[in-house]
Structure 1
Amino acid sequence: MKNSSYIGISLIILIFGIIFIPRIIDRIGGEDIVKSDRLNVQTKKGDPSEVAYIIQYEEKKRVPEFEFINQDGDTITNKDYLGKVYVIEYFFTTCPSICPIMNENLISVQNEIDNEEDFGIVSITIDPKHDTPEVLKEYAKNYGVTNPNWNFLTGDREKIYEMANRGFGIFADEDETVPGGFAHSGLFALIDKEGYVRSRLDKFGNPIIYYRGSVERNKSVVEGEEEPEIDILIEDINKLLQAKWL
């Protein structure tokens, strides 16, 4: 009886190998692989979905709702950006350290993605007391901002900090011990046309979440230094712009 059972099991394994293993190999060879990882991201080589959703509490993370005043004195909300791919940053106009690098990088992004009506940038000041619409308008002019969807926003301090620290988890705070009196992360958030936060995956299949904006785009780095991520940000913006299923 035992020998009969072993023979039966062996036949089942043999049949499975003949029927199913070639199909599995064909799927891998055709690069049609579906990943079912903790992010529930489905990817296919060259597919825009390589720019993953960020999953938080089992839901896709949306951009926090916001309503601020731009450099022209107009009210701008997150709803104004529905249907657009855009980048969000936090900065302040008198920043003597990373903000100039961040905004030079964003000018590069603007110039690379020229004439795209569905692309925009949102720059939110963390020093609203100083950065009035008039100050922001002059700042934008000095940097050579031409994209009509690039809004420099100011407004209620508490709402700005709530959005940065709690909504995104991008650090921003007043700090008298640092140059300029404000400390913040030099990160860019990428938002898709439906208002979801998106991110490319690293080599381990995990999202990088936000893009490093405080390193010069063309900087030569030595081992151990942070690498620029502006080129990959531009690549991912273009992927989302070209995605037909959004």
Structure 2
Amino acid sequence: MNTKKTNYSFIGIAFIILVFGIIFVPKIVDRIQGNDVIRTESRSKNVSVDSEGFVSDLMFLNINGNPKKVPSFSFKNQNGETITNQDYEGKVYVVEFFFTTCPTICPRMNKNLVQIQNTFTDFEDFGVASFTINPDYDTQDVLKAYAENYGITNPNWHLMTGDKETIYELANVGFNIYAGENPNVEGGFEHSGNFALIDKNGFIRSRKDDFGNPKIFYKGIISEVEKEDEDGETEEISMLKEDIAKLLKED
């Protein structure tokens, strides 16, 4: 009697499994095909909650667990127009802080940016945001002449001027790109020669370093032709171009 009961139990369990497979497995497959069931992968931590569709492998700069977004700003550009962060929505753009009388790194930075501009002439959703750190001198007319002298033609490349303290806060806090006055250095101002890369949703993006962390910024002084400087630092303009192209493909 015990043997028969055991056999009946096995038969019952097998029948339940068979019914479950017939009824529920096709539904689970349908959910997976319909993207209702999504596998959690490590890269998903780098995906913006505001992004949909294709997202590249470029990382987000996370602050306290949240991707850092460009803060709000409003300045006058070289054409006397008021430009805000909203004018860059839906565009991939590069950010720099500079000044027109800079005798050292700014000319090199902007020559590199012009070269990048000319690489992406066919993309209406690419731009550059240049903020002067010497707004007392860099008026609208000065910036306009500077743009013409360097061959700046992209309508989304705005050279902006405004309140000095607001610009410095935007640089040092908003983008973590150092800028300040220093009467002891050539030109009277010192600043980083780095570029920040911003995606279409306004987030700061970059590729990983050798340790798997975001590089955050791109060196803007060394050109592709130079390849490296006297200290052995390698150029990152080619890297920046590659990453701009990736972000332009994002939805």
Aligned to 1:41: 46
Aligned to 2:163: 156
SS of the counterpart of 2:143?
helix
Q: Does 1:98 align with 2:109?
A: no
TM-superposed CA distance for 1:143, in Å, is: 0.3
Aligned to 2:78: 71
Match of 2:188 among 146, 159, 181: 181
Amino acid at match of 2:122: N
Deviates more, 1:215-224 or 1:194-203: 215-224
Q: C-alpha deviations, 1:70-110, integer Å up to 9, x for none?
A: 00000000001000000110000000000000000000100
TM-superposed CA distance for 1:65, in Å, is: 1.1
Q: C-alpha deviations, 1:145-169, integer Å up to 9, x for none?
A: 1101000000000100000011111
Match of 1:147 among 127, 147, 154: 154
Q: C-alpha deviations, 1:44-86, integer Å up to 9, x for none?
A: xxx8531111110111100121100000000000001000000
* Separation (CA, whole Å) in 2 of partners of 1:119 and 1:71: 18
Aligned to 1:240: 247
TM-score normalized by structure 2? 0.78
TM-score normalized by structure 1? 0.80
Q: Count how many residue pairs are aligned between Structure 1 and Structure 2.
A: 207
* Superposed CA RMSD: 1.9
Aligned to 2:176: 169
When residues 216 and 55 of structure 1 are mapped into structure 2, their CA distance, relative to the original with a 3 A threshold, is same
- Unpaired stretches in structure 1, ≥5 consecutive residues: 1-31
Q: C-alpha deviations, 1:159-183, integer Å up to 9, x for none?
A: 0000001111110000111110000
Contact 2:222/2:229, CA 8 A, preserved across alignment: no
TM-superposed CA distance for 1:115, in Å, is: 1.7
Aligned to 1:195: 202
* Separation (CA, whole Å) in 2 of partners of 1:230 and 1:108: 9
* Separation (CA, whole Å) in 2 of partners of 1:124 and 1:60: 23
Q: Percent identity?
A: 53
SS of the counterpart of 1:145?
coil
- Unpaired stretches in structure 2, ≥5 consecutive residues: 1-38, 48-53
Contact 2:222/2:234, CA 8 A, preserved across alignment: yes
